Amino acid sequence: MSSPQSRVLICGNLVWAHEDAKQLFDGLADIVIMDSPDRAEFLAGLKPGGKYDGIVGVYRHNTSADRIGVFDKEIVDALAETGTIKWIAHNGAGYDQIDVFRCAEKGISVSNTPGAVDDATATTALYLVISCLRNYAWAEQSLRQGTFKTVLDSGRARDVTGRTLGILGLGGIGLRLAHLVHAFPMRVVYYSRNKSADAPEWCEYVDSLEGLCQESDVLSLHVPLRDETVHLVGEKQIRAMKKGSIIVNTARGKVVDEEAMIRALEDGHLSSVGLDVYPNEPFVNPRLLEFPQNVLLPHMGTENQDSQRGMEVRALTNLRDFLRDGQGKDLVPEMRSKL
């Protein structure tokens, strides 16, 4: 249980849930806004007598990396050295900007906001699926350029109904996408490390990644970025896909071998790709722009006020529950076995 003198640190943007934060921490903790312009000043503020002295938990948004960088070993160690900080409530489903294994070693718990992003990310993936199959983004470019579809080739477009969508990672986002595309209907197959107990009976399990690639007209990626998922979809997996197939990625850019994907676009093995994420954001490989049939978004899967507020509130609630009950919810999977 926390005393009213405890302090929590808002590290990064808090846009929609200011009043929620006041209510959640009323009588539990004072709210401190991280205002350090760089890493050096942030680290200095964590030392005894510094402006962040006495912080017991941290709300973290990825925008904090613009000033102090990611929560790597150096920052995690500095947080641990305070002796008071025991919880990082991360805003977002992906948490690759936090060294969670170092946090576990130092006794700091990390939570994320998995369910809060499901609808927004799944509908972004749905848009990419439909636009790639029907060449809608290319058609809009044509209209805006004054050519009114004369550059398009209907032979490149396919209907959504009856196509096979392969989902790599049937977590909350993948499952939501499965339900959305089933309405057309599309045939849905999936591969995860474990067969999902939540999968509906019409959602078919494939027992290997290569098998999933072979079955898919469209392959949609929904796995977190970890060491073992970097280039999980590489040359071998892409070439196992049908000629003219499509890759959609709303997960993380490094899950796909970008060079292998571009080669497959160049020789026509892939007809197009729909991307909301890139390996080195905000840099986008200019070679991807050479294919007008590609559908490219600037990592905006959760960029709407409903999802943003939901994510902020869920992260803050995780931190509040830790202060009030000694244990928050939404521990990241690595923490469940490490702590």
Distances (CA, A) of 250 to 125, 221, 273, 333: 6, 7, 11, 20
Distances (CA, A) of 173 to 36, 125, 226, 318: 34, 9, 17, 20
State the pTM of this model. Answer: 0.84
Number of domains in the chain: 2
Active-site hit among 299, 309, 324, 334: 299
C-alpha–C-alpha distance, residues 244 and 158, integer Å = 10
Mean pLDDT, the chain, integer = 94
Active-site hit among 140, 266, 281, 303: 281
- For residue 99, is it within any domain? yes
Residues 287 and 315 in one domain: no
Q: Is 231 a catalytic residue?
A: no
Residues 137 and 279 in one domain: yes
Residues 173 and 285 in one domain: yes
- For residue 1, is it within any domain? no
pLDDT at 178 over 60: yes
Helix (H, G, I), strand (E, B) or coil at 239: helix
Q: Is 299 a catalytic residue?
A: yes
Helix (H, G, I), strand (E, B) or coil at 71: strand
Residues 96 and 205 in one domain: no
Residues 246 and 319 in one domain: no
Nearest CA to 106 out of 135, 86, 132 is that of 86
Residues 183 and 282 in one domain: yes
Summarised one tens digit per residue, pLDDT across range 290-320 is: 999 999 999 999 899 999 999 999 999 999 9
- For residue 301, is it within any domain? no
Helix (H, G, I), strand (E, B) or coil at 21: helix
Residues 316 and 179 in one domain: no
Residues 199 and 273 in one domain: yes
Residues 181 and 290 in one domain: yes
Residues 222 and 151 in one domain: yes
Tokens for 98?
Answer: 């936090």
CB 128 within 8 A of CB 295: yes
Residues 65 and 143 in one domain: no
Helix (H, G, I), strand (E, B) or coil at 20: helix
Range of the domain at 211: 118-296
Distance of CA 239 to the CA centre of its chain: 26
Summarised one tens digit per residue, pLDDT across range 148-177 is: 988 888 888 999 999 999 999 999 999 999
Summarised one tens digit per residue, pLDDT across range 27-85 is: 999 999 999 999 999 999 999 999 999 999 999 999 999 999 999 999 999 999 999 99
pLDDT of 5 reads: 66
What is the spatial order of strands in the sheet that 87-90 belongs to?
29-33, 6-11, 55-60, 87-90, 109-111
Residues near 153 by beta carbon (within 8 Å), at least 6 away in sequence:
none
- For residue 101, is it within any domain? yes
pLDDT at 327 over 70: yes
C-alpha–C-alpha distance, residues 118 and 180, integer Å = 12
Lowest mean pLDDT among 91-95, 234-238, 289-293: 91-95
Distances (CA, A) of 289 to 106, 165, 231, 333: 44, 24, 21, 36
- For residue 286, is it within any domain? yes
Looking at residue 257, which CATH number applies to its domain? 3.40.50.720
- For residue 157, is it within any domain? yes
Residues 170 and 318 in one domain: no
